Amino acid sequence: VRARAGEDWRRVPELLCVEDYRRLARRRLPRVAVDFIDGGADSEVTLRRNVEAFERLSLRPRHLVDVSSRSLETTVLGERVGLPVLIAPTGMSRVAGRGGDVAGARAAAAHGAVFVLSTMSSDSIEDVRAAATGSLWFQLYLWAERSILERLLDRARAAGCRALVVTVDVPVIGNRRRDARNGFALPPRVRWRTAADLLSHPRWLAHAPSAVGAAHFLDDAGVRPSGTMEHARLVNRLLANPGSSWRDLTWLRDRWDGPLLLKGTLTAEDARLAVECGVDGIVVSNHGGRQLDGAPASIDALAEVAEAVGDQVELLVDGGVRHGTDVIKARALGARAVLVGRPWLYGLAAGGEAGVAGVLEILRTEIDRALALLGRPRFDDVDASVLGKPTTTIIPGTT
């Protein structure tokens, strides 16, 4: 990471955990990019909850178990994966770094991890497929224009995307105040403060406008926007679809033979409806705290969903995973594996493909060490018995 970044090594912190990558990413990126990645909706209560909820869970180690040989392998929807961490779909990844989705997919492939490409990706499905040999899944929004969805499905199929992840928590776009304050919108609203910040990051500025503007799915809209305003109007019209319903999911189920997952479910009621619609898996998620502020932490919602449908479909979870132990806690609560959103973008910002690989390596090492310390040599053997009682914060003077 250091060599690629071409930075004086004395000024680069040692990269020992995901938070170290976050710190380096914040140094490399202008404020507008940091806020786009790190920000959440409204007062960011759910954003904070995602991380805090993992911290509250405690672990129960068993000792004098032979842990000399360990395995992180597992299966996700029948697919063998080398790492129980998938890369979450994140739109406009080139805002974080010029390697974009191609760099992320290559790093994931090197770790035997699945890369989930966003509908709003910076790089096209075809470019990512051509550059990376690993397992590729595609994320889709239930937009109103079905002709666009059909064309995207064809492209995902042709590129060999194994599973389809349908994100359902964006009927309207969450209120991200940081973006609004920075004028990060389509079309951009230039603020002096933001402009000065951007000019002090010339390397980022050289590639980023194309990242923000790149919307390869527009090829499928059958429209060639003639300018920024038309482009912006089109993207904004497509992005949110307040009229989408379970009928749309049934429509999609009929058109996609492979594994279908719903992403964004937080309740037992929705999980049951999803199963009735024939989904194969559910990603319990609150969109990284970027949509409904006040929604529960994803890891807290996982228990409710697992109780309702955990024996019928596979569950995944994302939101706030920052440590190897978080991955183990998620597995103990019923998830096959987790997805990480911001962590891979920190890696991308810090050092391109090598940075993403570095973040995945840290998670791999942390999971491996935790399995040894817990006395559970195989990730597949992790179950609810690794969890202790949630810890509570003791307020001084109340005991």
Site size with ligand FMN, rule: CB under 6 A: 23
Q: Using DSSP, state whether 86 is helix, strand or coil.
A: strand
Active site residue 287: yes
Q: Which of 46, 74, 122, 139 binds ligand FMN (CB under 6 A)?
A: 139
Least distance between ligand FMN and beta carbon 342 (Å): 4
Structure letter (DSSP) for residue 189: -
Work out whether 50 is an interface residue with ligand FMN (CB under 6 A): yes
Least distance between ligand FMN and beta carbon 395 (Å): 27
Stretch of residues binding ligand FMN (CB under 6 A), selected from 61-69, 243-251, 280-288, 369-377: 280-288
Q: Using DSSP, state whether 318 is helix, strand or coil.
A: strand
Query: Which is closer to ligand FMN, CB of 141 or CB of 379?
Result: 141
Q: Are the C-beta atoms of 385 and 328 separated by less than 8 Å?
A: no
CA angle 241, 337, 356 (to 5 degrees): 80
Whole-angstrom distance, CA of residue 105 vs CA of residue 135: 8
Query: Which is closer to ligand FMN, CB of 314 or CB of 376?
Result: 314
Whole-angstrom distance, CA of residue 314 vs CA of residue 279: 9
Give the chain's length.
399
Q: Which residue is nearest to ligand FMN (CB)?
A: 341
63, 201, 207, 287: the active-site residue: 287
Contact string 249-268 vs ligand FMN (x = CB under 6 A): --------------x-----
Q: Are the C-beta atoms of 356 and 102 separated by less than 8 Å?
A: no
Least distance between ligand FMN and beta carbon 167 (Å): 3
Stretch of residues binding ligand FMN (CB under 6 A), selected from 143-151, 233-241, 284-292, 354-362: 284-292
Q: Which of 46, 90, 135, 265 binds ligand FMN (CB under 6 A)?
A: 90
- Quote the distance between the C-alpha of residue 238 and its chain's center: 21
Stretch of residues binding ligand FMN (CB under 6 A), selected from 82-90, 186-194, 233-241, 271-279: 82-90
Structure letter (DSSP) for residue 297: P
Q: CA Rg, the chain, in Å?
A: 21
Q: Are the C-beta atoms of 26 and 34 separated by less than 8 Å?
A: yes
First and final C-alpha spacing in the chain: 48
Stretch of residues binding ligand FMN (CB under 6 A), selected from 59-67, 74-82, 173-181, 318-326: 318-326
Q: Which of 30, 104, 213, 341 binds ligand FMN (CB under 6 A)?
A: 341
Structure letter (DSSP) for residue 220: G
Structure letter (DSSP) for residue 387: B
Q: Which of 84, 319, 324, 358 binds ligand FMN (CB under 6 A)?
A: 319
Stretch of residues binding ligand FMN (CB under 6 A), selected from 16-24, 193-201, 273-281, 287-295: 287-295
Work out whether 342 is an interface residue with ligand FMN (CB under 6 A): yes
Sequence-ordered strand ranges (E) for 97-239: 115-117, 136-141, 164-167
Partnered with residue 117 across adjacent β-strands are: 138
State the catalytic residues. Answer: 287
| Interface contacts to ligand FMN, rule CB under 6 A | 36-37, 50, 88-91, 118, 120, 139, 167, 263, 285, 287-288, 290, 318-321, 340-342
